[in-house]
Amino acid sequence: MRGQSLYSPPRMTKEAATDHSTAPAGAQALYRGLAAMEAVAAGARSLSAIGEAIGCTRSTTHRLLDALQRAGYLRRDSDGYALGARLIDLGYQARASLPLIQAARPHLESLAASTRDTVHLGVRDGSEVLYLDKLPGVRGLEMRSRIGNRMPLAVTGLGKALLLDLDHDALAALHAEAMRHRDPATLARTRAWPAFLAGMRRYSRLGFAFDLEENEVGIRCVAAPVRDASGAIQASVSVASARPYMPKTRMQALVPEVLAAARAISIELGWRPR
């Protein structure tokens, strides 16, 4: 993406997590604590697994985890260590302070009210789309998307809307990455490269994207990109619902409304139509 993202969450690499020699003087313990929390977030639950992930001895890891538990950043249950309530509280405070969410929320609420369907806001995070906001619909449907979840860019409407400006090679790499992470059930629903490329070229010309149950069986969505003052795509917005409420005729009918919401958010971020 061109320009600087309004939300690009950093991830600590394995090398950074285990090599604390580059930490500023006096900050090694802080870096280790942060690495320990990221290891737990990535699925390490036991003392030994966390110690291996952060490159610390058993005794050092135990002291770190004990301190993080006492402060509420981690908790311990029958399965091992897990993220604590204090992190959840801080996460929601951080999310609420993001300028993108603040700018987008009124437009997302308006879109949700008019469509009665689930509305999402997402940003690119590497090869995935990160769900920043979700307003559930009123039709009693449950879909697996959650705020904070990540999905492959190439198999979601929200993700494909983020890719409309990318060239052939970038699209090929992201499609291959998505294919590598699909299980047998979802792989069968994923478009092969030629069909995916043809679809993306069409979406790029039209300025929006569809998800025709590629990500979740029975769920379809219409998505459009959100641009910043430079014209770069910084986020995307989508309307999603179950197939009975989303025949292709309705998907087409929703396009102007979704595009209008994305355009309104873009204007809030400084974008101006040419």
Instruction: Give the residue extent of every domain in the chain.
Output: 14-90, 98-268
**Domain spanning 98-268 has what CATH number?**
3.30.450.40
CB-based contacts of 200: which residues, under 8 Å, 6+ apart?
160, 163, 164, 166, 171, 209
| Closest-CA residue to 117 (of 238, 247, 255, 248) | 238
Encode the chain (274 residues) as per-residue pLDDT tens digits: 333 345 444 455 545 555 555 666 668 889 999 999 999 999 999 999 999 999 999 999 999 999 999 999 999 999 999 999 998 888 777 766 678 999 999 999 999 999 999 999 999 999 999 999 999 999 878 888 999 999 999 999 999 999 999 999 999 999 999 988 877 767 667 789 999 999 999 999 999 999 999 999 899 999 999 999 899 999 999 999 999 999 999 999 999 999 999 999 999 999 998 7
| Angular region, 126: left φ>0, alpha ψ -120 to 50, beta rest | left
Q: Which amino acid is at 233?
A: I
CATH match of 14-90 with 1.10.10.10: yes
Which two tokens mark 182?
């699909």
